[in-house]
A = this chain, B = another copy of it.
Amino acid sequence: MATINENYSKLAAGYLFPEIGRRVSAFTQENPDANVIRLGIGDVTEPLPAACVAAMHKAVDDMSVRDSFRGYGPEQGYEFLRTAIVEHAFKPRGVEIAADEVFISDGSKCDTGNILDIFGADNTVAVMDPVYPVYVDTNVMAGRTGAAGKDGRYEGLVYVPVTAENDFVPSLPDEPVDLIYLCYPNNPTGTVASRETLKQWVDYARAHDAIIFFDAAYEAYITDPEIPHSIYEIEGARDVAIEFRSFSKNAGFTGTRCAYTVIPKELTGKTSTGEDQPIHPLWNRRHCTKFNGVSYPIQRAAEAVFTPEGQQQINELIQFYLTNAGLIREGLESAGITVYGGVNAPYVWLKTPGGAGSWDFFDQLLSKGHLVGTPGSGFGAAGEGYFRLSAFNSRENIEQAVERFQRVVG
């Protein structure tokens, strides 16, 4: 009798974004002429950088000729890309990472989920609230939680509230935790962590033999020179942190698929008898056994991100989306809305007007403004009464969206 993994039945609801998709699709079926503007899912809209396009064409040509054809590549990624990453993404910020500490993958969502494979079932997990739902759901699926309560919070997870009340600075947990998810610049709030905040968490992890999962998917959007881009800018972080990075949001690779995860060789976990075990060989083993490397043309496209042309082109993309974020911020503020984020991140996080519930406000914006955002409560109980707007769209749509928003709340 083949039994299923019953932890899946604990999952409280559909994954957030499919639920948004369902509501939007129901609306557009009833209103086929409505020109809906989507600032919900954080998906880029502008074409790939020209340097990436050229590199991919060249790599496709490599695949068409026997002498330059590539079969199975190294599961961990090609040396050319791992080296380009350490040289260009870390070294200029004074962070020393070895190329073989970088594991190329097809996405940070995949990596933040799959990383759990190499950790014990008994770890206590801390997440911020609100939080990117994948961190929570993958722990539920892996059996590290009990059932969900009425507020959607799972028994056994430690939720750290991050709201206007604490100025979006998470407090260290009162109870001991083992695995800690930090995402900065933050999805969904668009806020950043100062060097001091990150240092507190690194010190906590060092003191408690905890491990930090640091999701830096949005680091390219940091405009404030005082804000760290990498957790490894904090002293001692190599002993306690794994960092996840992606080409999705800086180079527009959401449909192209390439990301990477850094596992420093110093990083250790514990056996049940309390011995230190290095994490790097565990992840290497998982990667080699359950993954087969990223497509060669895609790795060449990612490599091109680090050429001078590529860097200039992605900077233009990032500036474009940040200008969008600024327009949203200003437009909402001028309508009397309290907004956060949108300065060092492509997301604007706002308080719903009149204290409306997040999903109520979602339905209101959709039906009256034909505008799609993401309900804050979809990211966790502490997100209730908040709402996220993404800056990923054309300038025209952003300007339209701001006008519509103002009209709906006006």
Q: List residues of A whose CB falls within 8 A of some B CB.
A: 1-6, 8-9, 11, 15, 18, 41, 43-48, 50, 53, 56-57, 60-61, 63-66, 69-73, 106-107, 109-110, 113-114, 117-123, 134, 137-138, 141, 176, 178-179, 208-211, 252, 254-257, 269-272, 274, 277, 279, 282, 285-286, 288-298, 394
Contact = CB atoms under 8 A, between A and B. Distances in A.
A61 B60 CA distance: 12
Contact of A141 (B15, B179, B286, B295): B286
20 contacts: A3-B119, A4-B120, A4-B270, A5-B117, A5-B120, A6-B271, A15-B285, A41-B72, A43-B71, A48-B63, A48-B64, A56-B63, A63-B255, A73-B255, A109-B292, A117-B141, A256-B295, A257-B294, A295-B298, A298-B298
B289 A138 contact: yes
Q: Which 6 A-B pairs have the closest CB atoms?
A: A3-B120, A113-B290, A43-B71, A4-B269, A70-B255, A2-B211
B110 A291 contact: yes
Contact of A57 (B60, B254, B288): B60
Contacts of A289: 15, 109, 113, 134, 137-138, 141
Contacts of A176: 1
A252 B2 CA distance: 34
B56 A272 contact: no
A15 B290 CA distance: 11
Which among A50, A71, A288 has the highest number of chain B CB atoms within 10 Å?
A71
A93 to B, nearest CB: 26
Given A43-B72, A71-B255, A289-B134, A2 B210 contact: yes
A50 B64 contact: yes
A296 B107 contact: no
Nearest to A1: B209
**How many copies are assembled?**
2
Contact of A45 (B45, B65, B71): B71
B291 A107 contact: yes
Contacts of A119: 2-5
B1 A56 contact: no
A271 B10 CA distance: 13
Given A255-B296, A257-B292, A65 B47 contact: yes
Contacts of A47: 63-66, 69
Contacts of A122: 3
Given A120-B6, A271-B6, A109 B291 contact: yes
Contacts of A394: 66
Nearest to A62: B47
A66 B392 CA distance: 13
A289 B202 CA distance: 28
Given A209-B1, A288-B18, A72 B254 contact: yes
Contact of A56 (B69, B210, B285, B297): B297
Which among A73, A114, A295, A296 has the highest number of chain B CB atoms within 10 Å?
A295
Contacts of A255: 63, 69-73, 293, 295-296
Given A106-B294, A107-B291, 12 more contacts: A2-B123, A3-B119, A4-B118, A9-B277, A47-B64, A53-B61, A53-B63, A109-B289, A109-B291, A113-B290, A257-B292, A295-B295
B6 A272 contact: yes
A210 B271 CA distance: 34
Given A256-B297, A270-B1, A8 B109 contact: no
Contact of A288 (B5, B15, B56): B15
A286 B113 CA distance: 10
Contacts of A11: 285
A178 to B, nearest CB: 4
A252 to B, nearest CB: 8
Contacts of A66: 45-47, 394
Given A1-B178, A48-B64, A72-B254, A292 B107 contact: yes
